[in-house]
A and B are shown apart, each in its own frame.
Chain A
Amino acid sequence: MSHDETNGPIQVVEHTADWALQIRGRDLAELLHHAAQGLAGLLTGDLPVGTDEERTVRIDAYDTEGLLVGWLSELVYWAERDGLVFRDIDIREMTPTALAAIVRGSRVENLQKHIKAVTYHDLAIRSAGEGLEVTIVFDV
């Protein structure tokens, strides 16, 4: 999933101090999936990612934007804690405010970017065409 494909589901947005991604998906599950892919792209660039590490992720949030932040924050945590990047995403259960997923990935020795956190800055999941769209600002 490339970041810069015109009209692709993951687009880099100009931001002075940090990194921002505009993410699209046909539904919430796909939006979360693409958001995770976008994060993995920031972390690794084009470096290969295996599937030898697996984690179970459970998020219980206050609202849907909180679910998105909680989901990505979980992945940011594993990247900083153990250098793990997950590209294989299997969302098993999902409501607008909770999810359970199995994620598979691998340790990447030379992460391209240090993501400190996922912010709520101007965060709003909006209807766009027949799907959903959101812009996420990452603190780097």
Chain B
Amino acid sequence: MKTGDFKRLSPYLYEIPQAHRPDMRVPARFYADAELLQATLGDKSLDQLVNTATLPGIVAYALAMPDIHQGYGFPIGGVIATRVPDGVISPGGVGYDINCGVRLLGTNLHRSDVAPYLDELATQLQRNCPHGVGRGGGILLTRKQMEAIVRHGARWALEQGYATTSDLERTEENGCIDGAEPGKISERAYERARDQLGTLGAGNHFIEVDVVDRIFDETAAGRMGLFPGQVVAQIHCGSRGFGHQICTDYVNRFQRVVHQYGIELPDRELVCAPLDTPEGRDYLSAMKGAANFAFCNRQVLTHLIRRSFSDTLGGHTHEHQVYQIYDIAHNMAKIEQHEVDGRKMTVCVHRKGATRAFGPGSPVLPEVYRDIGQPVLVPGSMGTASWVLVGTEGSMAQSFGSTCHGAGRMMSRSRAKKEIQGSELRRELEEQGIRVRAGSLAGLAEEAPAAYKDVDRVIEVVHGAGIARKVARLVPVAVVKG
């Protein structure tokens, strides 16, 4: 992809016309500023975006958020909407970590309340929240319990005493997507994840304690209970081996039938099937089951985080509360209503490394947030800021109610591992006042801030483009990595 292949539509929006490649069914659009554009041109992400514009049933345009980077099949940061029921659903367009997402927990604590105990809090979080490669959790699920989680998601956690009703109300889909059938999920998936509920995993997943650095929207921040200097906590993880296996199974199954549906693809990882076929229906059902497992997983981790705060601060500070602000998915396909070419349509919105960002008034939002728009949680990289945003009318009009999901990588993992020493990075972060608890120093190096784009710049783009609005900026004070 080169600069002559696209045109600028507005200060932060570019379009690759449909004529760019004969197999494109719609144009492709992406959000960027000049610097992010250069980073984006450094890998194959825009070619991957163009590939998604070839999928049958796609409407309007293929989209990419400013944190776009090269993935497999879809670019990370990609959003497409396909017509229901004859458009396609693509398991690779959701990704292997189905319902990878972010949860933000607020507290009634000020930075100064926690500062003397921060080392201990980081250690308790590391001790209580299973993390790292191959680490199972403290809950060994029976098959019957796993099927209940598939059907009921975070509601299962509520029944077991790991959640409050307020937690569920403040979770996308209230923590449970209806329509998940346990029988659409393989034995392998159940086996792979039976000890993984309430575990973080590895890679870019983390638990982080942050402090509210700046407030940009007093009304929205007030509704979320955010105030300057406040201690908050984030969880970033997904459906663990359950989702990985479900996606693996369906990508393989779809390879066998994609040609029967007359679908030609530029990349086999985009494999897909129409939504109104047995394969399409089965995948959607299984995907919902994995999504429910992920909601439940983050809920059990929430319970463990609350325990960590209690273990650390009990008796030391005034009575503390850890409450849920919101929980969002950023790897998901969802059936939604959107306006396309001036008329309401039911579409399947694939968000692969992109966050749902519904604007004010959406009936699916909890009442407490309905007039301000959906909270959007955008984690940065270690040592850099994270952001709380809200969805807008602009995101509904421009991006199928979607916005960015993070900073976006720009350095390969192999290069990061060669150029960055994990021990040195940990020392630098500690010097900045950030407590680091990492399962693997090599893994820490791969996730170094230098491997990522500038999250503040990404946020300026989505704010400037009107597909989300800034509410608060957070800065990290303790990080637990897998």
Chain A's closest residue to B241 (CB) is A80
Question: B134 contacts which of A19, A63, A83, A122 (Cβ < 8 Å)?
Answer: A83
Of residues 25 to 54 in B, which have CB atoms within 8 Å of A's CB atoms?
A: 43, 45
From A66, A69, A121, A139, give the contact of B267 (CB < 8 A): A121
A interface footprint on B70-95 (CB within 8 Å = 1, 0 otherwise): 11110010000000000000001001
CB distance from B75 to the nearest CB of A (A): 9
Indicate if A140 sits at the interface (CB-CB under 8 A): yes
Chain B 377-418 interface residues, beta-carbon cutoff 8 Å to A = 409-415
| A137 cross-chain contacts in B, Cβ below 8 A | 72
> Which listed residue, A45, A62, A63, A114, touches B203 by the CB 8 Å rule?
A114
The reply to whether B255 and A66 contact each other, CB–CB distance below 8 Å, is: yes
Q: Are the CB atoms of B269 and A120 closer together than 8 Å? A: yes
B252 and A69 contact, CB distance less than 8 A = yes
Comparing B2-10, B242-250, B468-476, the segment that makes contact with chain A is B242-250
Would A114 and B482 count as touching, CB distance under 8 A? yes
- Any A CB within 8 A of the CB of B97: yes
The CA-CA distance from A122 to B44 in the complex, in Å, is: 12
Q: Among residues 1 to 39 in chain A, which have CB atoms less than 8 Å away from a CB atom of chain B?
A: 12-19
A81 to B96, CA, bound (A): 16
Q: Is the CB of B414 within 8 A of A139?
A: no
B260-295 to A contact mask, C-beta < 8 Å, 1/0: 000000011101000000000000000000000000
Q: Which of B406-453 contact A (CB under 8 A)?
A: 409-415, 440, 442-443
A100-140 to B contact mask, C-beta < 8 Å, 1/0? 00000000001111101111111100000000000001011
Q: Is residue A88 within 8 Å, beta carbon to beta carbon, of the partner chain? A: no
Q: Are B255 and A139 within 8 A (Cβ)?
A: no
- B256 / chain A contacts, CB cutoff of 8 Å: 62
How many A residues touch the partner, as a band?
35 or more
- Chain B, range 126-170, C-beta contacts under 8 Å to A: 133-134
Which residue on chain B has the smallest CB distance to residue A112? Answer: B442
Q: Which residues of B contact A122 (CB under 8 A)?
A: 267-269
- Smallest CB-CB separation from B249: which chain A residue? A73
Residue A70 interfacial (CB < 8 Å): yes
The listed residue with most A CB atoms (<10 A of its CB), out of B45, B71, B72, B73, is B72
Beyond A66-B252, A112-B133, A113-B133, whether A119 also contacts B411 by CB under 8 A is no
Q: Is B201 an interface residue (CB 8 A)?
A: yes
Which A-chain residue is minimally distant from B196 (CB atoms)? A80
Decide if B442 touches A19 in the complex (CB within 8 Å).
no
Given known pairs A112-B440, A122-B267, the reply for A117 and B248 (CB within 8 Å) is: yes
Closest Cβ of chain A to B113, distance in Å, is 35
Q: How many residues of B contact A (CB 8 A)?
A: 44
Could you tell me if A16 and B203 are in contact, using CB atoms closer than 8 angstroms?
no
Given contacts A62-B255, A73-B248, A111-B134, contact A121 B409 (CB under 8 A): no
B467 contacts partner chain A, Cβ-Cβ < 8 Å: no
**Complex partner residue of B268 from A45, A110, A123, CB under 8 angstroms:** A123
User: What A residues does B201 contact at CB under 8 A?
Assistant: 114
- Contact between B442 and A121 (Cβ–Cβ < 8 Å)? no
Q: Which of A43-73 contact B (CB under 8 A)?
A: 45, 61-63, 65-66, 69-70, 73
Question: Are A65 and B268 in contact (CB-based, < 8 A)?
Answer: yes
How far is B256's CA from A26's CA once the two chains are assembled, in angstroms?
A: 28
Complex CA gap A66/B69 in Å reads 26
Q: Which residues of B have CB within 8 Å of A66?
A: 252, 255
B235 close to A (CB within 8 Å)? no
Instruction: Determine the chain A residues whose CB is within 8 A of the CB of B440 once the complex forms.
Output: 110, 112
CB distance from B397 to the nearest CB of A (A): 29
A17 and B411 CA atoms in complex are apart in Å by 8
Interface centre among A70, A116, A118, A119 (most CB of B within 10 A): A116
Residues of A within 8 A of B133 (CB): 110-114
B255 touches A15 (CB 8 A): no
Complex: A126 Cα to B449 Cα, angstroms: 37
Residues in B with CB closer than 8 Å to A69 are 252
Partner of B72, one of A61, A79, A119: A119
CB closest chain-A residue, reference B194: A81
| Cα distance A37–B414 in the bound complex, in angstroms | 18
B233 within 8 A of A: no
Distance in Å from the Cβ of A115 to the closest Cβ of chain B? 9
Residues of B within 8 A of A120 (CB): 73, 92, 251, 255, 267-269, 271
In the bound assembly, the distance between CA atoms of A120 and B272 in angstroms comes to 13
B-side contacts of A81, CB under 8 Å: 191-192, 241
Complex formed: what's the CA distance from A42 to B96 in Å?
18
Q: Can you offer 12 A-B residue contacts whose CB atoms are under 8 A?
A: A16-B410, A16-B412, A17-B71, A62-B252, A65-B268, A80-B244, A110-B440, A114-B133, A119-B73, A120-B255, A122-B267, A122-B269
Query: Which 8 A-B pairs give the minimum distances between C-beta atoms?
Result: A121-B72, A114-B202, A120-B268, A16-B70, A121-B269, A117-B96, A111-B133, A119-B72
